[in-house]
């Protein structure tokens, strides 16, 4: 009888062992799942904290840029040039706990970094000026045509863009402004939505053109910036050659790379005397100072990296943030 019970007992023991193994395996899977969920939750919280810290640093950088622009306005007045503090680039710089508000910078292999530069937005051709007060502007269209020609692009694109902008900025008839039939263009990349402007054309135009808004909302009203002018102290040779009909690209480069490297100009009359042939500088299109500035930069904190571009408006006594785009 004992010999007959042994197989049954062995089978029961085998089933018990298998059951225990299954329970242990299941418990291991459950515990592993809990640890994995906890790790994901912790990592998500860390990433959110890092993102919040990046946003805080971006805000601090813009505060610093605003202070620099206000100080520059108070010290140099209405003249802006590339020799001023705002034009100096910030090389990639490691941040410490002082800059980050006491936050711990734990990742030694990926330290918190910042880099960027401020640009004069009025060193570029403002394409919104193709339409002024609801009417097409011939001088600005001709300037854009010349720029397109210099860059090897069809000059007919200027008229197409002007028609598109008239839909966004309709005229005023009998004291009433008509309703726009299209949204305004905010960024140079928005040109891709205009017929005729392909990706290659937009890429070629990007360093030389911009869209400056016609109005800026202030805490106590609205500033009218209908016709912003190009700063002759900061504009590229291509933009100057396009704006001033009396000079070609070679003369503009000689002016920018030679004369302007040594000095800046407090008036258009002085700048005119330094240009070959003393061409007429249109006062409705050129100036020696600026109100709009672009702040472009990168902020990295822990595993989060953010690149952004912001447009600042420097009015009387204050600097306002017009927009910010992150990439």
226: which 2 tokens? 């209908």
Q: What is the mean pLDDT of the chain?
A: 87
Name 312's Cβ contacts closer than 8 Å, sequence gap at least 6: 62, 65, 66, 69, 292, 293, 294, 295, 319, 320, 321, 322
Extract the tokens encoding 50. 């890092």
CA angle at 127 for the pair 123 and 128, rounded to the nearest 5° = 115
Relative to beta strand 176-177, strand 209-210 is: unpaired
Q: For residue 241, is it within any domain?
A: no
d(CA 232, CA 272) in angstroms, rounded, equals 10
Examine residue 256 and state whether it is found in any structural domain, yes or no.
no
pLDDT under 50 in the chain at which residues? Answer: 1, 100, 106
- DSSP H helices, the chain, are 2-76, 138-150, 157-168, 199-205, 237-243, 249-254, 260-262, 268-274
Please give the pLDDT value at position 1: 46
Residues in the chain: 327
Q: Tell me how far apart the alpha carbons of residues 274 and 160 are, in angstroms, rounded to a whole number.
A: 35
pLDDT at 259: 93
Task: Tell me the per-residue pLDDT of 84-138, one tens digit each, with 9 for 90 and over.
Answer: 999 999 888 887 655 545 555 545 556 788 899 999 999 999 999 999 999 999 9
Residue 213: inside a domain: no
Q: Determine, yes or no, domain membership for 294.
A: no
Q: What pLDDT shows up at residue 287?
A: 97
Residue 10 falls inside a structural domain: no
Of 166, 140, 144, 163, which Cα lies nearest the Cα of 154?
Answer: 144
Looking at the domain assignment, is residue 84 inside a domain?
no
Spatial distance between the Cα atoms of 305 and 35, rounded to a whole number of angstroms: 27
Residue 89 lies in a domain: no
Range of the domain at 130: 126-205
pLDDT at residue 109 in the model = 53
pLDDT, residue 6, reads 61
**What's the pLDDT score for residue 42?**
62
Rounded to whole angstroms, the Cα distance separating 297 from 244 reads: 32
Q: Read off the pTM.
A: 0.83
Q: From CA 301, how far away is CA 140, in angstroms rounded?
A: 43
Count how many domains the chain has: 1
Q: Identify whether 168 is part of a domain.
A: yes
């Amino acid at each position: 009888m004992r010999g007959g019970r042994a197989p049954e007992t062995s089978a029961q023991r085998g089933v018990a062992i298998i059951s225990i193994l299954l329970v242990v395996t299941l418990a291991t899977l459950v515990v592993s799942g809990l640890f994995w969920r906890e790790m994901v939750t912790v990592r998500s919280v860390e990433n959110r904290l890092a993102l919040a810290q990046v946003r805080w640093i971006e805000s601090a950088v813009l505060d610093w840029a605003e202070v620099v622009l206000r100080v520059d306005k108070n010290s140099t007045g209405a003249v802006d040039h590339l020799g001023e503090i705002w034009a100096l680039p910030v090389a990639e710089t490691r941040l410490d706990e002082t800059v980050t508000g006491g936050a711990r910078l734990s990742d030694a292999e990926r330290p918190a970094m910042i880099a960027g530069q401020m640009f004069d937005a009025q060193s570029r051709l403002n394409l919104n000026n193709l339409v002024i007060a609801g009417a097409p502007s011939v001088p600005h269209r001709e300037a854009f045509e010349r720029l397109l020609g210099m860059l090897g692009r069809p000059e007919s694109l200027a008229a197409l863009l002007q028609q598109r902008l008239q839909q966004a900025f309709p005229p005023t008839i009998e004291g009433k402004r008509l309703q726009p039939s299209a949204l305004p263009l905010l960024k140079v990349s928005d040109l891709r939505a205009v017929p005729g402007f392909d990706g290659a054309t937009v890429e070629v135009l990007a360093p030389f053109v911009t869209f400056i808004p016609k109005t800026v909302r202030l805490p106590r009203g609205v500033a009218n910036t209908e016709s912003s002018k190009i700063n002759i102290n900061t504009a590229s040779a291509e933009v100057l050659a396009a704006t001033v009909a009396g000079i070609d690209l070679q003369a503009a480069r000689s002016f920018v790379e030679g004369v302007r490297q040594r000095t800046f100009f407090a008036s258009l009359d002085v700048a005119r005397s330094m240009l070959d042939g003393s061409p007429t500088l249109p006062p409705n299109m050129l100036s020696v100072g600026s109100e709009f500035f672009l702040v472009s930069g990168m902020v990295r904190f822990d595993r989060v990296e953010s690149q952004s571009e912001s447009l600042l408006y420097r009015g009387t006594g204050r600097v306002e943030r017009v927009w910010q785009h992150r990439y």
